[in-house]
Amino acid sequence: MIRRAAMASARRHLRAWLARLRGRPVVALESTASRAIALPPQTTVRQRWAVYLLLFVVIACSFVLSFAMEEYARGIRNMAGVQRQAFMQALGKLPGDLAWAWNGTVRVMGGMDFANGGPVLATDDPQALETRIERLARLVHLFTALALLASLFMIHHIWARFRSEDRLAHYAFHDPLTGLGHRLSFERELPRLRGKPHTVVLAGIDRFEHIIGGFGHAFGDEVIRAVAGRASTVMARHGGRAFRLDGPSLALLLPVHAGEPALSAAIANLQAYMALPFTFGNRELFCSLSLGMAQYPRDGRQADELLRRADAALQVARRTGSPASYSQALEAQAEGRLQREAQLRHALDRGEFEVHYQPQLELAGGRPVGVEALVRWRRDGELVPPAEFIPLAEETGQIVPISYWVLAQACRQGRIWQAETGRRLIVSVNISPRLFRHPDFLRRVEQVLAMTGLEPALLELEITEGVMVDDTAGAIALLQRLRALGVRLAIDDFGTGYSSLSYLKRLPIDRLKIDQSFIRPLGDGPQDGAIVRTVIELGRTLGMRVIAEGVETAAQLAALRGWACDEVQGYLYSRPLPAGQVAAFMLGQRAARPAAAG
């Protein structure tokens, strides 16, 4: 009874302690990004040892009580033997008339003290008494074994709970994929720097979307894990730490500041290590990192501020291909870029786009043969340079609706010019790779031609060589279907991209357009025109007409005339003109004589 009461009391205390532990409020860690993660209640080392000590006391008490009850049972067994012997001796001394024949059953004679001055125990059979005592001992041992098993189970359960708490606490500050600290860990690390200069390096895996598209997300996780491992190794060598933020982005924290040779050495070692091939089974992969840097505490003390400024530098690094450091000019550019993106998304609805047309002339006689449609963005009364918004439109996907609008405007205007001048002018429209791959592209071209009434032979679509890179067979098939509509096709900026002669002869191309980067140096030396002359001869051999863009000087014109180039366009003849001025130009007011460059 004593042992059972002690065990029950211990279990009650343990259950009460665990209930209080479970009832503690969770800890909420607020990040500077206004995110909260709820962590499970964590026990301290002192509380854990208290639990272990309590279980040890329970087990020890079980063993002590077991031994005590065994000794008690042994004492009862010995006492029973002594009492039986004393009783039999006393029975033999009774008078004959008080004795009776014993047939295996002994009755107690109450009040007679046969052993140690106490009454004899009430029992039917001394042998049965001994049997009961042995059963009691077995029950004591069984209960002790069960108590031991229960204690071991409780130890395992509590140990598993502690392990679960440790694991959850670890994942609250660490990335489960790479094992590196994540954003919360990075935010928690910054206050510990106490203003000591550090460099925050934001690293992004280049072309990671192509890896995902080619091999899947599981393989992408393997790549992230391998890249993070190498980055962590390099950081450990230079006394820094690596953190994984999200996706293919890593944050590196180095205990050096800009201008120190140690920073340059760490960046060089990181790039050299990343340049080594990664091996995944039978695949070999090369990965590179774009790196944007910000200085702590000069560029900020808060994580959001530092990461935002490092990300501004990272965007520059991706465009230039080399590590970049944050400056106030970069932040202004990033803010301006976001503002332009927001304005660009509304520009089409607000009617801010215009289409200007640059004449294209036959070189032999100076006769206008067509125009190239060029989109312009007039924002707040001023024209935005195409180099500022065309790449942004490509990146954001706005190039698709803008290009469809330009296509419709150009076809409609071409139909108007044909009615006004009676000339069959070819209207050339640039088609971006993103638009060319759009699943609705062919149908939209058919709709525009039907809606505007322009003859398909008067529409020329200019594509770049880049459309052949991803899906050459699909690109050729689409070009053939466009050609079947009667639409003319041209390759823009020829010589700057894919330039595969094996595919060029298979393409249904009408015209090659030599990029102005090859035209600009003409006349500076005899070697500068070798590429241009070769392209002209190649086009003639394949039965294609060749047009040179960006003609600005008389020397360039003379060189092209000497090589028998078919057509030209450029500032030497005309700048891109609004639609209202093109008809006058085509009627011959300035068509036969080059205009002054300016």
- The full DSSP string for 385-406 is PHHHHHHHHHHHTTHHHHHHHH
Domains (ranges, CATH) in the chain?
2-171 (no CATH), 183-326 (3.30.70.270), 353-586 (3.20.20.450)
Give the whole-angstrom CA distance, residue 231 versus residue 274. Answer: 8
Question: In b/e form, how buried is each residue of 486-501, taking b as 16+ CB within 10 angstroms?
Answer: ebbbbbbbbbebeeee
Instruction: Select from 484, 485, 563 the least CA-distant residue to 523.
Output: 563
Distance CA 375, CA 351 (A): 12
**CA-CA distance, 71 to 21, in Å (whole number)?**
40
Neighbour count for residue 458 (Cβ, 10 Å): 20
Contact 361, 591 (CB under 8 A): yes
The pLDDT of residue 20 is above 70: no
- Is residue 244 scored above 50 in pLDDT? yes
Asked if pLDDT for residue 201 goes beyond 70, the answer is yes
Which of the listed ranges 125-129, 142-146, 156-160, 509-513 does the model predict with the highest average pLDDT?
509-513
Question: Residue 78: what pLDDT?
Answer: 64
What is the per-residue pLDDT for 580? 86
pLDDT tops 80 at residue 8: no
Lookup: tokens for 591: 């068509």
As a whole-number percent, the residues of the chain with pLDDT over 90 amount to 32
Over range 424-448, report the average pLDDT: 91
pLDDT, position 454: 93
Residue ranges with strand state E in 497-597: 511-514, 545-549, 567-569, 577-578
Nearest CA among 301, 299, 275, 278 for reference residue 288: 275
User: What pLDDT, on the 0 to 100 scale, is given for residue 488?
Assistant: 95
- If one compares 427 and 498, the residue with the highest pLDDT of the two is 427
Residue with tokens 């192509």: 210
Higher pLDDT, 232 or 90: 232
Residue owning tokens 């959850």: 168
Confidence of residue 32 (pLDDT cuts 50, 70, 90): very low
Backbone angles phi, psi at 596, to 5 degrees: -70, 135
Assess whether pLDDT exceeds 70 at residue 426. Answer: yes
CA dist 51 and 340 (Å) reads 62
Pairing of strands 289-296, 324-325: parallel
Q: Distance between CA 372 and CA 284 in Å, rounded?
A: 45
Task: Centre a 10 Å sphere on the Cβ of residue 194 and count the other Cβ atoms it contains.
Answer: 7
Q: Which pLDDT does position 418 carry in this prediction?
A: 85
> pLDDT per residue over 324-338, tens digit each?
999 888 878 777 888
Q: Which has the minimum average pLDDT: 140-149, 173-182, 261-270, 302-311? A: 140-149
pLDDT for residue 252 is more than 90:
yes
Average pLDDT value for the chain: 78
Helices (H) and strands (E) in the chain, counts: 20, 21
Can you read off the two tokens belonging to residue 467? 């459309």
Distance from C-alpha of 181 to C-alpha of 175, rounded to nearest angstrom: 6
Residues 6+ apart with CB under 8 A from 503: 468, 472, 476
- Sheet order of strands, 289-296 included: 241-246, 249-254, 198-205, 289-296, 324-325
pLDDT 10s digits, 262-303: 999 999 999 999 999 999 888 889 999 999 999 999 988 898
Token representation of residue 252: 């590196």
- Would you place residue 128 in the very low, low, confident or very high pLDDT band (cuts 50, 70, 90)? low
The DSSP H or E segment spanning 368 is strand 368-379
Mean pLDDT of 343-359: 92
Q: What is the pLDDT of residue 126?
A: 59
Largest CA distance in the chain: 163
pLDDT value for 259 = 77
Q: Give percent of the chain above pLDDT 70.
A: 72
Task: Return d(Cα 289, Cα 231) in angstroms, integer.
Answer: 10
Taking the model in full, what pTM does it have?
0.63
Residue 72 exposed, middle or buried by CB count within 10 Å (0-12, 13-18, 19+): middle
Cα angle vertex 320, ends 315, 325, to 5°? 60
> Does residue 404 have a pLDDT over 90?
yes
- What φ, ψ does residue 506 adopt, rounded to 5°? -90, -10
**What distance in Å separates the CA atoms of residue 126 and residue 14, rounded to the nearest whole number?**
43
Tell me which range, 31-35, 297-301, 581-585, is most confidently predicted by mean pLDDT: 297-301
Is omega for the bond preceding 594 within 30 degrees of 0, making it cis? no
**What confidence tens digit (pLDDT) does each residue in 469-500 have?**
667 788 889 999 999 999 999 988 776 655 56
Tell me 592's DSSP state.
S
pLDDT for residue 359 is more than 70 = yes
* Structural contact between residues 394 and 464, judged by C-beta atoms closer than 8 angstroms: no
